[in-house]
Structure 1
Amino acid sequence: MIRSLVLIVVLGLAASTRLHRGRPLHKHGMLGEPRSTSRHSFGEAEIRWHTQRMNHFDPADRRTWKQRYMVNDEFYREGGPVFLLLGGEGEASISWVEKNTHVMLMAKKHNALVFQLEHRFYGQSRPTSDLSTENLVYLSSEQALADAAHFRNVITNRRNLSPDAKWVVFGGSYSGSLAAWFKLKYPHLAVGAVASSAPLLAIIDFQDYVRVVRDSLGSSCSAKVKDGFQALQVKAARRSSWPDIDNEFKTCVPFDGYNSLNLQNFFQTIAGNFEGIVQYNKDQRMEGRTNISIDDLCRLMENAPTPLEGLASVNDLLLESTDSKCLDYDYAKFVREMRNVSYSSVAAEGGRQWTYQTCVEFGFFQSSDAEDQPFGDLFPVELFIQQCRDIFDDFFDQSMLDNAIFRTNTEYGGQQPKLTNVTFPNGSIDPWHALSILKNLSDSVTAHFIEGTAHCADMYPPSAEDDETLTAGRQKIEAEVAKWLQ
């Protein structure tokens, strides 16, 4: 069997604990790769390829391409349900359908056939020869949903599945949004959807992101961070202090307060040290796992002689954890890397594609524009819009972004979608919960707000270290799925 193992802007592209527009800078994207805590086998998945249309919305366009998917039939019994795990903004990891992830635990319980479908333009699912802007017009949530619908119907026939087989769709983070939207756009093709940590509201200036980071750090720690950023801004305004900043934060290029884009990028990078850890606090990811938690960051802030030295200590910890020799925040370098259209580039691991989707569909720009947050005011929403211009300068303008946000929310309904049989798990620590569903919309559209957990925590393998709230959250999800399968 052939086997293969799937804006916050920070420019050290190897640093998986750092984020680019909320996406960790490694190939598996926001959902990451699960870390197994079980010795029990959940079967060996098989990798296969499915022929897709390039453009589902133009019948005259007959171009096709090969989409990668994984299938695990270890627990399947004839007449059982089918679970479809949708891929998101990264390479699909086969671990999700081989280890004791929550979806596989439920598959074992219900004798389900399990598929994972990799998202177009990510991982090995490459519809075009490169990632040029003219090719990326075929990268959209709508095309991805149509891919899933086509896959579902073709697979039903190919595997001689019963036309009455009950399909349940799963996803986390962006793919969680896709799971909910699949049930919205194709309600006849699935009996239910689990949309974990799914942002549903497209928004240009996502100010609540840093507000949730503030709350997740706690009042005492957040106050220290705020004092540190205020001191750092004062220092950044004095040219004589720039060499000290280079020393304290181990910068890759000399600090220059006159370079406005580098200045903004620097401050966003330092804020990203906190944002990345908060988003994935105490999760069960395999890739990028550093065991650094909110507690560790706040301990450094509390014990440092000054808040500014605390920021430097946190930065040292993140550099060490990612084997980075220096803090790379050079804006021009970032743009050069993100403009590379080759699938062999580092940006093609998902950074360029996700940037494109945020620029033309979702926004999600995690700025410092909110006044009631601790990270200063030096990475405004204009920084993210400028990135879109610089990376896609032959394509992007402000009116396109405004229209895109309006269109996305019109298409899917924002935080008031007309759905049935969808459940929305979210963690209280996860900044993305601010754009999701936190209260039941109806008897069949439920929300599970899990205190003390982070991004997509419910999807990972259970651990003895899990809080009772997370265990209870998983049980509620299982009850919803069981109800749909009755």
Structure 2
Amino acid sequence: MGCQALLLLVFLSLGAAATLRPGLKTFGSLHLSANPTSNPAIANNYSVLYFEQKVDHFGFSDTRTFKQRYLIADKHWQKNGGSILLYTGNEGDIVWFSNNTGFMWDVAEELKAMLVFAEHRYYGESLPFGEDSFKDSQHLNFLSSEQALADFAELIRHLKKTIPGAESQPVIAIGGSYGGMLAAWFRMKYPHIVVGALAASAPIWQFEELTPCGVFMKIVTQDFRKSGPHCSESIRKSWGAINQLSSTSSGLQWLTNTLRLCRPLTSEDVPTLKGWITETWVNLAMVNYPYATNFLQPLPAWPIKVVCQYLKRPNVSDTVLMQNIFQALNVYYNYSGQAKCLNMSQTATSSLGAVGWSFQACTEMVMPFCTNGVGDMFEPSLWDLEKFSDDCFNQWGVKPRPHWMTTLYGGKNISSHSNIVFSNGDLDPWSGGGVTKDISDTLVAIIIPDGAHHLDLRAHTAFDPSSVLLSRSLEVKHMKKWIADFYSNAKWQS
């Protein structure tokens, strides 16, 4: 389910937080990676397989190949009248996505479905050049959404040729976050291979000239504003408090002690501190789920409400305000009470996943983000494509192509496509770049009130709000129609 990569993109764009390598600043990303075996109950119910993929699908002289990992679960699959649900893997370990996409497991029996989870090239174990895959831009040259979609197409072709009964069944693409973008684009680019797509929390319009750069952080701010009186105002004032306190050596030492940081804070660390705190607020907005989770960190139900209990008083001294900020941060980083100190290098990103996504962000996935400190609760930060481009060149020796995604996938001119459901939670900051209104009878938007990042793809629980139950039922209704239409057309053609 995505979060880590897109989060990283926010902070690549804002120039916040720590560096992966000297030169290019990063923050979080779209998919928020965690323990790959976070749900071992599911982990035992699939087979792990590998498929030989071409490194370059779009040239003919390069014959190199690599092994793409994929998972298959066929407990509820029926050869007669069944279907295939393909999870379009995004920027991380496919086992983790499998374990955190409970919706697919929940509907498998009803749809008589085989579940296939396909790992994205350059992530998890699907490394085209092994340990050298991230060595330089030459080795990373084949990391793109376009190559990944071709991988998915080739994998489905392979499965239909080798699994008896699969060749005559409809395939539906399902994904969340960047994976949701891939699911939608897969249906657009390969409509003869997938009959429809569920694109959950998929910000396919979070690109230049399609979505205002400030929308994302405004939604984060709204989440905090709605969750407690003066909560967002306290956070907005905290940046000035940090600036004031960090201006002296004694203040830096006081911040180190008060925030219980694992290492002493220096004046050079202050931008990293701000980026780390910013990422925490963004992470909380994305995983503001109605029940306790262990998705990123052990968190209570509605974690922003819990955080905001400590941020009710914005008009206090700088020292008191930062003591309150610590209590709020502690909810995210130490809800279990086991952390002895707070580590600024502890973010949601995984090392290789973050490196891979930083390259994608520096090439095709150029999403502008900005803040103004008025409509949002963050320090002002302008979108500066030239600086972003220079940082990318210093990091990878490549320059971003801001318009390529719109050229490749159509931007907002997608009305000629069909059979895509775009779902977005209204609490999810990525909804700002998502499709939130119906485009046609078959390009449908589902809004989930009180829904955070791809809540609908998570497993069913007793604490699910009625809004997500309704959303899932609508999604299944659309998928059943796509399946029925497929078989009806096949029968007519025969």
Tell whether 2:151 aligns with 1:167: no
The counterpart of 2:275, out of the listed 268, 273, 294, is: 268
Question: Which residue number in structure 2 is paired with residue 92 of structure 1?
Answer: 94
Aligned position for 2:112 = 111
Aligned equivalent of 2:52: 51
1:296 is matched with which residue? Answer: 306
1:130-149 matched pairs, under 5 angstroms: 130=132, 131-133=134-136, 134-149=138-153
Q: Tell me the SS of whatever aligns to 1:110.
A: coil
1:457-476 aligned at under 5 Å gives the runs 457-476=455-474
2:261–2:341 contact (8 Å) kept in structure 1 = yes
Could you tell me whether the CA contact under 8 Å between 2:83 and 2:483 is conserved in 1? yes
User: Which deviates more from structure 2 when the two are superposed, residues 363-372 or residues 59-68?
Assistant: 363-372
**Contact 2:427–2:451 (CA under 8 A) maintained in structure 1:** yes
Equivalent position SS for 1:314: helix
What's the offset of the Cα at 1:382?
Answer: 5.5
| Separation in 2, partners of 1:414, 1:33 | 35
- Residue in structure 1 matched with residue 285 of structure 2 by the alignment: 278
Classify the secondary structure of the residue corresponding to 2:108: helix
Shift of 1:157: 0.7
Say if 2:246 is the partner of 1:236: yes
The yes-or-no answer on 1:347 pairing with 2:351 is yes
Q: What is residue 376 of structure 2 aligned with on the other side?
A: 373
Residues 42, 74 of structure 1: 8 Å contact kept: no
Q: Which stretches in structure 2 are left out of the alignment for 5+ residues? A: 1-7, 21-25, 485-494
Q: Which residue of structure 2 lines up, in the alignment, with residue 480 of structure 1? A: 478
What residue in structure 1 maps to residue 23 of structure 2? none
**8 Å Cα contact 1:279/1:430 also seen in 2:** yes
1:356 to 356, 359, 383: 359
1:393 aligned residue: 395
Give the 3-state SS of the residue equivalent to 1:478 in structure 2.
helix
RMSD: 3.2
Deviation at 1:321, TM superposition (A): 4.1
1:173-231 deviations in whole A, cap 9, x for unaligned?
10100000000111111110000001102436843221111011125321222223333
Local SS of the residue matching 2:139: helix
- SS of 2:53's partner is strand
Cα displacement string for residues 238-282 of structure 1 (whole angstroms, at most 9, x for unaligned residues):
56533222222234454344x3xx432221211222111111112
Contact 1:174–1:199 at 8 Å: present in 2 too?
A: yes
2:426, 2:52 → 1: CA distance? 40
Note if contact 1:52-1:66 (Cα within 8 Å) is conserved in structure 2: yes
Match of 1:217 in 2: 224
- Normalised by the length of structure 1, the TM-score is 0.82
Q: Which amino acid aligns with 1:141?
A: S
Q: Is the 8 A contact 1:202 1:409 kept in 2?
A: no
**Does the CA contact (< 8 Å) of 2:290 and 2:465 recur in 1?**
no
Query: Normalized against structure 2, the TM-score is what?
Result: 0.81
d(CA) in 1 for partners of 2:35, 2:158 = 28
Is 1:196–1:459's contact at 8 Å kept on the other side of the alignment?
yes
Does residue 319 (structure 1) correspond to residue 317 (structure 2)? The answer is: no
SS at match of 1:278: helix
CA distance in 1 between counterparts of 2:60 and 2:309 reads 59
Q: Which residue of 2 aligns with 1:21?
A: 29
Distance 1:370 1:265, change over 3 A: same
Give the secondary-structure state (helix, strand or coil) at the position aligned to 2:125: coil
How far is 1:25 from its partner?
Answer: 5.0
CA distance 1:190–1:100, shift in 2 (3 Å): closer
Q: Which moved more, 1:229-238 or 1:414-423?
A: 229-238
Residues 107-158 of structure 1, C-alpha deviation per residue, up to 9 Å, x if partnerless?
2102112111011111111111321122111111000000001111111111
Contact 1:458 1:470 in 2 (8 A): yes
Relative to structure 1, the CA distance from residue 185 to residue 316 in structure 2 (aligned partners, 3 Å threshold; closer, same or farther) is same
Q: Quick one: distance in 2 between partners of 1:435 and 1:72?
A: 32
1:42 and 1:316 map into 2 onto residues whose CA distance is 31
> Does the 8 Å contact 2:220/2:285 carry over to 1?
yes
Aligned residue for 1:351, secondary structure, equals helix
Kept in 1, the 8 Å contact 2:285–2:452? The answer is yes
1:369–1:58 CA distance, 2 compared to 1 (3 A): farther
- Indicate if the aligned counterparts of 2:206 and 2:434 stay in contact, CA closer than 8 A: no
- Structure 1 counterpart SS, 2:461: coil
CA contact (8 A) 1:19 1:276 kept: no
Residues 213 and 275, structure 1, Cα contact 8 Å, conserved in 2: yes
| SS of corresponding position for 2:402 | helix
Q: Which amino acid aligns with 2:253?
A: P
- Equivalent residue number for residue 200 of structure 1: 204
Aligned partners of 1:274 and 1:86: how far apart in 2? 28
Can you list the C-alpha shifts for 1:53-88, whole angstroms capped at 9, x where unaligned?
000000221111111111111111113111111111
1:268-327 per-residue CA deviation (whole Å, 9 max, x = no partner) reads: 211222111111112675543412401111011127964333212222333324865544
User: For structure 1, which segment, 299-308 or 182-191, has the greater mean C-alpha deviation from structure 2 after superposition?
Assistant: 299-308
Correspondence for 2:83 among 73, 81, 84? 81
Q: 5 Å matches for 1:30-45?
A: 44-45=45-46
1:411 aligns with 2:415: no
Name the aligned partner's letter for residue 359 of structure 1: C
Which amino acid in 2 is paired with 1:77? Q
The question of whether the paired residues in 1 share the 8 Å contact of 2:205 and 2:435 is answered with no
